[in-house]
A and B are shown apart, each in its own frame.
Chain A
Amino acid sequence: MAENNTTRRSFLKAGLTGAAATIATGAYAEGDPAITEIQPWMQELGEGVDARPYGTPSPFEKHVKRRNVEWLTADPVSSVNFTPLHELDGIITPNGLCFERHHAGIAEVDPAVHRLMINGLVEKELVFTMQDLMRFPRENRVYFLECAANTGMEWRGAQLNGCQFTHGMIHNVMYTGVPLRYILEAAGVKPNGKWILPEGADASGMTRSIPIEKALDDCMVAFKMNGEALRPEQGYPVRLVVPGWEGNMWVKWLRRIEVGDQPWHHREETSKYTDLFKDGRARRFTWEMDAKSVITNPSPQAPITHGKGHTVITGVAWSGRGTIPRVDVTIDGGKNWQKARISGPSFDKSMHRFYFEFDWDGRELLLQSRAHDSTGYVQPTKNELRKVRGENSIYHNNSIQTWYVNEKGVAENVEIS
């Protein structure tokens, strides 16, 4: 068990504000032992340079990890886990914490025998090795990837206590890869080539239909994430990047792209990833991810532990249709709103980090954030969205999230009028 966890737990037992207050009022007449006593690391030598040839986080950060919700799926091989958003800052998600969703487990693909095939309505059907792919001109782009089912458990009411579980099916990564356009141009798309079907090499043989306009616009065939090779669980050695569109389309372990004149209507675009409305009809091809935001701190897994006084609220916002020029924050359940401060680079279809600082008087809070994207779209409330869509659409819940924070700083997932 990480020491941090133990500390957090005893803090919770002792009463949050109480523990913080003891330190502040100077119960340590002799001085703070963290200062007056010699700590082991001040005296002893640490491990040498090669002790950790691939570095890992401090043992004090052991609790920072992806976690799943076991009851969601029948089997961890076709399941999902969640990014610990409440433990992160800035805009980049570290590779080891990017949420996972696979349909047949993690394929451990040997890059030496991995191939990418282009077939169908093209002048020449082609096969590329990994080495071939890396000889194309490549680009670096930061994009968020959000599962269309992110926040899908919250349609009927507040369900899960923690932004990791309510919003953690998202990550934001810098990809290095080849514009898909180059690869399609090498094969020569025929005039009636209107759709592509990317396919994965794993045992689910994942496929999705994507219109050719998107394929030629900003899609990438990526082999690096945040500077290093893709992680196996993110599609090593190569995955498709479909900026701003739902994560299921970003086919991992990409082995084939077929060009066709019609969509294929495969399982992941009929049985799944279609949005069932209250009248029993269903929307399909809902690819774009609408603007969304969430406060990551405080949140149920990250209570306020310092008592009243200067308090930092932070969170993330993103849109599949552009950048996020503005985020509003309310601390009184939407009676009054204020503009938050956005810090860090503002890239198209990438996560944005916002902060809102205020002097907490120790009273109950109802926290919400509201994203505006560069098209002028404003993140709707849960009720507004339910009015249009009903409660059974599972996917594309981009509504405003509410956290209730009590006088002790403990946060809970709630809905408000």
Chain B
Amino acid sequence: MSAATNHRLASIAALGVSGFAVWMMLAFAMSNTSQRQSQLERETAAAERFQRKVTAKDKSVAFVQARLDDVIKTPRAPGTEVGLPDTKDFALGRAALKVEVAAWDIDVRPDGKGLPKGRGDVFTGEEVFSENCATCHGDFGEAVDRWPVLAGGHDTLAEEDPVKTIGSYWPYLSTVYDYVYRAMPFGNAQSLSHDDVYAITAYLLYVNDLVEDDFELSHENFGSISLPNEKNFYPDDRASTEYAAFTGEPCMSDCKQSVEITARARVIDVTPEEEGAAKQEVAALDTSETTSTQGLSEEATAPSQEVAEEPSTSDALDKLLAAEGDAEYGEYLSSECTACHMSTAQTSKIPSILGWKQDDFAIALHAYRVGERIHPVMQMIAGRLGDEEISALAAYFSKIQK
């Protein structure tokens, strides 16, 4: 076999199948144009050209390899060199209608963009608030149980236990309007009219000592109200105040002389029990200093210790059903319920409670009260009602027909 042929075979071996294919193409082109050349000449020429090609190819292989290394460094699976398409418009979706945008676009901004027309005064606000909001937030926004506090807390932000409210903390009044309209009352969102929300917002300003009791809020004067804490917010500055301090090679050995335990969770002990599992395991550890509890949010302080002792369910129910209900007292109490159970029609998720048989009504509320029927809001509400209140409400609502 000739030297050239040997060379050719060696190259084929080195390159494998794809190299062989390249060589075949070259050889085919040669055979068409070089009829006059001898077999040996042809093979030599082909091998030389092929050699040049291989060198070029080696370079490009190295290039691809380097690219691949890059890709591997930023972890990417093979195949990702085919990128996402650049096409800007896939012609998907359809134009939104004006009525559709209007139905969903309810957001309000500090500059007043999105604020609907309307008005409401403090007195109306007090009424609407006590009907719809006071159950949870208290008559003056002071909050019932652990529901959010909406008023007070002035000058507490730099103290140990800051109270963040609309008056003490929130930067913009538009946020109150937007949030109340969008999300409150809890469990019956977007049920208030715009005038009602103006009135409630006026009332919330009033209970935060920011306006007098004759104040009326409207889309016209909304922009003139600013909240006292607005100036105390500033944009994230971690990049300039923290990152440099928290960057760099830390100490790895003999970093400190001694180590003391300065605080331990066991002292506070607010960890939920693992279904009665042994907490004693940790009780075996000794005590050191006490630290104060801190909740996820301000509403939360510490776990409530006492759980009310309930008499056995059936006895309690018998007692309840035996009680005589005072419909007039029921009417007085009913405003707490009609906030959600609209006095007229039944809304999507909230059932009607009008015209029920008194016993059925009492049984239903009792079931929430003792947790046999699960619904967080109703359980909370019924939990606060005594037998007298339940029978009164049952008597009142039974008389009202749909």
Contacts and interface: CB of A to CB of B under 8 A. Distances in A.
Interface of A: 1, 5, 8-9, 12-13, 63, 67-78, 80, 103-105, 117-120, 124-128, 132-133, 135-137, 139, 149, 152-153, 155-162, 165, 179, 182, 185-186, 197, 199, 203-205, 207, 255-256, 258, 260, 262, 264-267, 270-272, 274, 276, 278-288, 290, 300-301, 303, 328, 332-338, 345-348, 366, 370, 375-380, 384, 388, 391-392, 394, 404, 406, 408, 410, 412-417
B63 interface: no
B272 interface: yes
Contacts of A303: 281
Interface in B234-291: 234-238, 241-243, 245-248, 250-256, 258-266, 268-272, 274-275, 277-278, 281-282, 284-285, 291
A335 B296 contact: no
A156 B292 contact: yes
Contact of B261 (A5, A282, A404): A404
Indicate the member of A186, A288, A303, A406 with the most B CB atoms within 10 Å. A186
Nearest to B189: A203
A332 B258 CA distance: 10
A293 to B, nearest CB: 13
Contacts of B309: none
Given A103-B183, A158-B265, A204-B189, A128 B278 contact: no
A159 B37 CA distance: 91
B92 A378 contact: no
Contact of A69 (B88, B259, B272, B292): B272
Interface stretch (B18-26, B38-46, B167-175, B310-318): B167-175
A266 B234 contact: no
Given A126-B93, A203-B189, A73 B297 contact: yes
Q: Is the interface of B mostly helix, strand, loop or mixed?
A: loop
Given A73-B300, A124-B95, A255-B104, A333 B259 contact: yes
A59 to B, nearest CB: 15
B252 A265 contact: no
Given A104-B189, A378-B247, A284 B236 contact: yes
Interface string B322-354: 000000000000000000000000000000000
B282 A410 contact: yes
B66 interface: no
A287 B236 contact: yes
A24 B285 CA distance: 27
B303 interface: yes
Contacts of A272: 297
Interface residues of B, number: 106
14 contacts: A63-B274, A73-B299, A104-B186, A139-B84, A156-B292, A157-B292, A158-B268, A159-B268, A262-B111, A270-B233, A283-B234, A283-B235, A335-B255, A378-B250
Given A156-B292, A157-B292, A199-B107, A334 B259 contact: yes
A126 B294 CA distance: 45
Contacts of B296: 69, 72-73, 80, 149, 152-153, 394
B55 interface: no
A206 to B, nearest CB: 9
A165 B274 CA distance: 12
B263 A125 contact: no
A117 B101 CA distance: 8
B303 to A, nearest CB: 4
Contact of B89 (A186, A258, A414): A186
Contact of B84 (A149, A179, A286, A336): A179
B214 interface: no
Given A161-B282, A284-B234, A347-B75, 20 more contacts: A67-B272, A69-B272, A73-B299, A74-B299, A80-B296, A119-B96, A119-B104, A127-B96, A137-B85, A270-B171, A276-B162, A282-B169, A290-B238, A336-B255, A377-B243, A378-B247, A388-B241, A404-B264, A410-B284, A415-B262
